């Protein structure tokens, strides 16, 4: 049984079904459950619909709103509900707590209960306590475990089947053994550890990756100052295996549901244990300011932005998702209007336009194609490196623009073969063209 049909719950639940297990996914949202039964996905994720539809058809995957029914036949329960940030940066565990109460009230025989959501160190103990408090039959036993999820949105299904490792946090070998069997067909190396270490591994992994991005963004800003090329620098350092070449793409900064939340979450975990994490505080500060480098580049081309038309290409926090959580485009638009309220901003995203309408405020024109978005524009700001945006023939369409200016916030355009001839081109940590 998997509780929660968000990115983590739905992809893990349907993948377990794909491995041959019988899975019931539970969610309190009736509309979502009805749609999932009909094969309609609650969010855009490549490849997910295929495995959901196939496993529903083959009767290995079921959806229900009734936790009390689903729990009867379950031997392992994954808690995969949302753990958003509270305004003060700490993790909101209220959904996890609600699920723990429900599990407690409905527990009639032995289960393994696994935290799959990203939760602060010590949450397994909290869930255990809540379940015990709410159990009607105090003699029933259960074990807690932690199996953190490392999937990336946009390649979640691929990541589940091709992960680098599975981390299983369990406090006894019998539980670890059952959870190993559950995952064994994936053929991915498994690390067995204690629950608290498993909980910390998730935060440490995401914080380290976020730190790599802020590091290369700092190097990009230095490269701008000294006339070096950050792509060359990233290649040069990344080919050292000790450093590794991934997550060294300089750009407008990281967003999404995980990195900003998890780095802040780890800082809070440190504070609660009487320590500080100045390194990670700096990672966040660098990231919060990184979008300004795009605005500064725009201002270096146009010191006066009065009445200008600006096009933003890509709104989602990264390609292949419609997720707008902590997307840099939100701060970018807000800040552009602060710099000059007379701006006209056209935006385009292949998938995230509807989601963006809920969170991007101000006088923004939502466009249905790149051509429409760049028509009569004075500058294109590339924020998300969707294939369609990367591969677009800017040179062929140069006449649509009022002024041929591209600020590439993802360093994603191919500059070879005269592809941007005629444009004023600025990117992050590379020489101006």
Here the tokens at position 414 are 């191919």
Query: Please, what is the minimum distance in Å from the beta carbon of residue 275 to ligand UDX?
Result: 24
Query: Please, what is the minimum distance in Å from the beta carbon of residue 317 to ligand UDX?
Result: 4
User: How far apart, in whole angstroms, are the C-alpha atoms of residue 18 and residue 356?
Assistant: 32
Determine the distance from the C-alpha atom of residue 85 to the mean position of all C-alpha atoms in its chain, rounded to a whole number: 14
Size of the site for ligand UDX (CB under 6 A): 19
Query: Please, what is the minimum distance in Å from the beta carbon of residue 257 to ligand UDX?
Result: 6
Distances (CA, A) of 36 to 27, 33, 55, 136, 352: 11, 5, 12, 32, 20
Indicate the helix (H) or strand (E) that contains 288: helix 278-301
Phi, psi values for residue 91, rounded to 5°: -85, 130
- Kindly tell me which residue out of 11, 206, 214, 377 binds ligand UDX, with binding defined by CB under 6 A: 206
Nearer to ligand UDX, 55 or 287 (CB): 287
Q: Give the contact letters, 209-228, x = binds to ligand UDX (CB under 6 A), - = no.
A: x---x---------------
* Window contacting ligand UDX (CB under 6 A); options: 205-213, 220-228, 264-272, 418-426: 205-213
Does position 259 bind ligand UDX by CB under 6 A? Answer: yes
User: Which 81-110 positions form the footprint of ligand UDX (CB under 6 A)?
Assistant: none
Query: Please, what is the minimum distance in Å from the beta carbon of residue 192 to ligand UDX?
Result: 20
User: Which 131-170 positions form the footprint of ligand UDX (CB under 6 A)?
Assistant: 149-153
Does position 426 bind ligand UDX by CB under 6 A? Answer: no
Radius of gyration of the chain (CA): 24
Nearer to ligand UDX, 52 or 258 (CB): 258
Nearer to ligand UDX, 21 or 152 (CB): 152
CB 322 within 8 A of CB 352: yes
Coil/strand/helix, residue 258: coil
For the beta carbon of residue 128, count every other beta carbon within 10 angstroms.
Answer: 17
**Ramachandran category for residue 168: left, alpha or beta (phi over 0 → left; psi -120 to 50 → alpha):** beta
Query: Please, what is the minimum distance in Å from the beta carbon of residue 127 to ligand UDX?
Result: 20
- Kindly tell me which residue out of 91, 182, 220, 258 binds ligand UDX, with binding defined by CB under 6 A: 258
User: How far apart, in whole angstroms, are the C-alpha atoms of residue 394 and residue 192?
Assistant: 51
User: How far apart, in whole angstroms, are the C-alpha atoms of residue 163 and residue 160?
Assistant: 6
Query: Please, what is the minimum distance in Å from the beta carbon of residue 246 to ligand UDX?
Result: 7
CB 235 within 8 A of CB 393: no
- Kindly tell me which residue out of 183, 318, 325, 430 binds ligand UDX, with binding defined by CB under 6 A: 318
Q: Is 412 considered catalytic here?
A: no
In sequence order, what are the residues at sequence separation of 6 or more whose Cβ sits closer than 8 angstroms to the Cβ of residue 275? none
25, 258, 367, 412: which one is catalytic? Answer: 258
Does position 317 bind ligand UDX by CB under 6 A? Answer: yes
Instruction: Give the residue nearest to ligand UDX (CB).
Output: 258
Residue with tokens 């799959």: 116
Q: Which residues are catalytic?
A: 258
State the residues that interact with ligand UDX by CB under 6 A.
149-153, 206, 209, 213, 247-249, 251, 254-256, 258-259, 317-318
């Amino acid at each position: 049984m998997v509780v929660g049909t968000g990115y983590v719950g739905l992809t893990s639940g349907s993948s377990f079904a794909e491995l041959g297990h019988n899975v019931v996914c539970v969610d309190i949202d009736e509309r979502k459950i009805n749609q999932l039964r009909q094969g309609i996905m609650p969010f855009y994720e490549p490849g997910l619909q295929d495995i959901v539809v196939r496993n529903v058809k083959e009767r290995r995957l079921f959806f229900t709103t009734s936790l009390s029914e689903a729990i009867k036949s379950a031997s392992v329960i994954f808690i995969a509900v949302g753990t958003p940030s509270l305004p003060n940066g700490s993790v909101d565990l209220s959904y996890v707590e609600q699920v723990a109460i429900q599990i407690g009230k409905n527990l009639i025989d032995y289960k393994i209960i696994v935290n799959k959501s990203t939760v602060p160190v010590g949450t397994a103990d909290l869930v255990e306590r809540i379940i015990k408090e709410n159990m009607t039959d105090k003699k029933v036993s259960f074990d807690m475990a932690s199996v953190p999820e490392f999937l990336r949105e946009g390649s979640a299904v691929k990541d589940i089947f091709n992960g680098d490792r599975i981390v299983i946090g369990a406090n006894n070998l019998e539980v670890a053994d059952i959870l190993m069997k559950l995952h064994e067909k994936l053929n991915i190396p498994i690390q067995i550890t204690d629950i608290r270490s498993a909980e910390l591994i998730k935060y440490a992994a995401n914080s380290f990756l976020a730190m790599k991005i802020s590091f290369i963004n700092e190097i990009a800003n230095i490269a701008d100052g000294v006339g070096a090329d950050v792509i060359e620098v990233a290649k040069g350092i990344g080919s050292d295996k000790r450093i590794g070449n991934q997550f060294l793409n300089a750009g407008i900064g990281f967003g999404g549901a995980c990195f900003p939340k998890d780095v802040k979450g780890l800082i809070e975990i440190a504070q609660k244990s009487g320590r500080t994490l100045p390194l990670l505080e700096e990672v966040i500060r660098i990231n919060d300011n990184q979008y300004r480098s795009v605005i500064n580049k725009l201002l270096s081309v146009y010191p006066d932005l009065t009445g200008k038309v600006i096009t933003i290409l890509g709104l989602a926090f990264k390609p292949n998702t419609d997720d707008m959580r902590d997307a840099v485009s939100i701060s970018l638009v807000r800040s552009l209007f602060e710099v000059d309220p007379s701006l006209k901003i056209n935006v385009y995203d292949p998938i995230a336009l509807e989601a963006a309408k809920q969170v991007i405020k101000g006088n923004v024109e939502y466009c249905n194609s790149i051509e429409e978005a760049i028509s009569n524009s004075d500058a294109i700001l590339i924020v998300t490196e969707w294939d369609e945006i990367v591969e677009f023939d800017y040179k062929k369409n140069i006449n649509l623009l009022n002024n041929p200016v591209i600020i590439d916030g993802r360093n994603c355009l191919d500059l070879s073969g005269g592809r941007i001839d005629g444009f004023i081109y600025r990117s992050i940590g590379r020489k101006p063209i």
